[in-house]
Amino acid sequence: MKYGVLGTGDVAQVIAGKLIELGHEVMMGSRTAGNEKAAGWASAHGDRAKCGTFADAAAFGERVFNCVQGIHSLEALESAGKDNLKGKILIDQSNPYIYQDGHITLDPKYTGETCLGDEVQKLLPETKVVKTLNYIGCVMMTNPGELTEPVTGFYCGNDEKAKEAVRGILRHFGWTDTFDMGDISMSRYTEMLGAFWVPVFGQMKTMHWGFRLVRTVKE
Ligand SMILES: NC(=O)c1ccc[n+]([C@@H]2O[C@H](COP(=O)([O-])OP(=O)(O)OC[C@H]3O[C@@H](n4cnc5c(N)ncnc54)[C@H](OP(=O)(O)O)[C@@H]3O)[C@@H](O)[C@H]2O)c1
C-alpha cells in the first residue's frame, strides 16, 4: 500500500521506517520539497521511499500519518490539502504541547471543550481521523514487543472501518493488545496522557516503557 507520512522528526522516521520494513511504499512530507531530513531518509530506505512536500505526501498516500509538531498540525494539514486527504484515513500521532521550564502543558487552544484530535477532524470533515500512539515515546511505537509485558495500543476515531484498519496497522506494528477508546473526542485523554513522559523519563532516563490497561476482557 502507499502511505504518506507528514513530518520529518523522530516519530515520522520511526513510522516511515517501519512501513518500509512491512513492504509498503512511503512518501515523507515536510514544509519544503528539499528538506534534508526527508531526503536523507528517502535515500537510506531504497526505491519504495520517497520525499516531497506535505501536499505531495498527502496526495501520494492511500493512508496518511500525521507526525508533525502538534501546535502546528492544523497549518501543516491545511498545507497538505483537504482534497488530498479527502476520503482517506489520517492516523494522527500529534500532541499540542508547549514545553516550558522542564514541564509540558497543553496549548490552551486545545483544552476545555475541545482537543487537537477534535480540531483536526473539524478541519478535515471528509477525512477519517484516527488518533493513536501519541501517548508513548516514538521508540516504542513500532516496537512494543521489546517490553517485558504486553502494553496497550489505544486508538479512537469516528469511523468504525477506519478504526478497524488502524487496529490492523497496530497489529503489524507489534501491538498484541489494543483498546478502542471511542470517538475522536476521546483524543483529549491520550493527548494528556502523553505528557506523562516527563516524570517517567525524568526518573528512568529512558523512553522504553508503556501503559497497560489491565482488564477482564480483551479485543
Ligand atoms: N517524539 C516522540 O517520541 C513523540 C511521541 C509521541 C507523540 N509525539 C508527537 O508526534 C509529533 C511529532 O513529534 P517529533 O518529535 O517527531 O517531531 P517535532 O519536532 O515535534 O515535529 C517535527 C515536524 O513538525 C513540522 N513543523 C514544525 N513547525 C511547523 C510549522 N510552523 N508548520 C508546519 N509544520 C511544522 C516540521 O516540519 P519540517 O519537516 O518542514 O521541518 C517537522 O516535520 C508531535 O506532535 C509530538 O507531540 C512525539
- pLDDT tens-digit profile of 24-61? 999 999 999 999 999 999 999 999 999 999 999 999 99
CATH code of 177's domain: 3.40.50.720
Buried b / exposed e across 130-166, counting CB within 10 Å, b at 16+?
bbbbbbbbbebbbbbeeeeeebbbbbbbbbeebbebb
Helix (H) or strand (E) holding 197: helix 197-204
Please work out whether the CB of residue 137 comes within 6 Å of at least one atom of ligand 1.
yes
- Predicted confidence at residue 219, as pLDDT, reads 78
Question: 162 CB less than 6 Å from ligand 1?
Answer: no
How many domains is the chain built from? 1
65 lines ligand 1 (CB under 6 A): no
Residue 51 Cβ inside 6 Å of ligand 1? The answer reads no
Residue 132 resides in a domain: yes
Per-residue pLDDT tens listing for the chain (219 residues): 999 999 999 999 999 999 999 999 999 999 999 999 999 999 999 999 999 999 999 999 999 999 999 999 999 999 999 999 999 999 999 999 999 999 999 999 999 999 999 999 999 999 999 999 999 999 999 999 999 999 999 999 999 999 999 999 999 999 999 999 999 999 999 999 999 999 999 999 999 999 999 999 877
Assess if residue 64 is contained within a domain.
yes
Residue 191 lies in domain: 2-204
Judge whether 50 lies within some domain. yes
Residue 63 parent element (H or E): strand 63-66
Inside any domain, residue 106: yes
Centroid of ligand 1 to alpha carbon of 219 (angstroms): 31
Does 172 map to a domain? Answer: yes
The DSSP call for residue 92 is E
Alpha carbons 135 and 94: distance in angstroms, whole number: 9
Q: What's the confidence (pLDDT) of residue 218?
A: 75
In a domain, 214, yes or no: no
Ligand 1: centre distance to CA 72 (Å): 8
Partners of 60 in beta bridges: none
Task: Give the H or E element holding residue 12.
Answer: helix 10-21
The rounded Å distance from CA 68 to ligand 1 centre is 3
84 contacts 109 by C-beta, under 8 angstroms: no
Are 34 and 62 contacting, i.e. CB atoms less than 8 angstroms apart?
Answer: no
Decide: 95 in ligand 1 pocket, CB within 6 A: yes
76 lines ligand 1 (CB under 6 A): yes
Atom of ligand 1 nearest to the CA of 135: 6
Whole-model pTM: value is 0.98
Q: Is the CB of 210 under 6 A from ligand 1?
A: no
Pocket test for ligand 1, best of 18, 69, 154, 208 (most atoms within 8 A of CB): 69
Question: Can you give the C-alpha Rg of the chain in angstroms?
Answer: 16
In a domain, 210, yes or no: no
